[in-house]
Amino acid sequence: MTTPGEMLDWSPDELREWLRSGPSMENFAWLTLGVGAAMEANSLGTGEQAKGDALAEVALYAFELAVRWNQATHHENLLSTLVLRSGLIAKFGEQPGSARDGDKLLAIISGEVAQAEHLREKIADGSDPIDIFTTPKSVLLVLRKVKGVFRAAELFLAAREADLPESVSWWWSRRARLP
């Protein structure tokens, strides 16, 4: 069996062929592969964009499978996905239909922010600061997830600040108020 470390040395074509074969082994170190491939993709120079894109595809696939086999890792893998996509877009630019698809990244962010829409009054300008001792834990967790999403995708969001959907823009402009 191939190890995650060995796969990082494969060519872009070998990586894509492996993805096309649809591997889905339950006891494989998917999170290890995802993190390793993401780190390698983000560390490559601008002349190695093809390998970076292939490694990013492997990382995203690995993060997806890690969640499939262990649902408890969903938020951790989501943040890893956002960091990867945001970093690659910042380094190599946007490319629709790839790991560097800005619209796809914005859709993921919008979906996460939508889960907090009912809490706008807690963050609205002029409202009292959130008291972490009296605010229900469930509310704090939702707001912390939004803050985590913004931190993970900060490079992308800062570059696209003038072109964000209203709901994302509203929360982004108030991110300092998030607990």
Instruction: Write out the DSSP string of 92-159.
Output: H---TTSTT-HHHHHHHHHHHHHTTGGGHHHHSTTSPPP-TTTS-HHHHHHHHHHHHHHHHTHHHHHH
Share of the chain above pLDDT 70, in %: 94
Distance of CA 33 to the CA centre of its chain: 16
State how far the Cα of 6 lies from the Cα of 37, in Å rounded to an integer: 11
Mean pLDDT to the nearest integer, 105-110: 95
CA dist 99 and 148 (Å) reads: 20
pLDDT at residue 59 tops 80: yes
Q: Is the pLDDT of residue 149 over 70?
A: yes
Domains in the chain: boundaries: 1-100, 101-179
Say whether pLDDT at 92 is over 70. Answer: yes
Higher pLDDT, 170 or 7: 170
Residues in CB range of 65: below 8 A, 6 or more apart: 24, 28, 30
3-state secondary structure of 68: helix
In angstroms, the CA 54 to CA 4 distance is 14
pLDDT computed for residue 24 by the predictor: 65
Span 81-97, average pLDDT: 90
Q: Among residues 103, 1, 11, 91, which one has the least CA distance to residue 58?
A: 11
Structure tokens, 115: 């889960």
User: Would you say the pTM of this structure is higher than 0.85?
Assistant: no
The type of residue at 32 is T
Q: What is the mean pLDDT of residues 96-124?
A: 92
Q: What is the pLDDT of residues 4-33, one digit of tens each?
A: 677 778 887 887 787 777 666 666 777 788
In the predicted model, what is the mean pLDDT of residues 139-151?
Answer: 94
pLDDT at 4: 67
Helix (H, G, I), strand (E, B) or coil at 18: helix
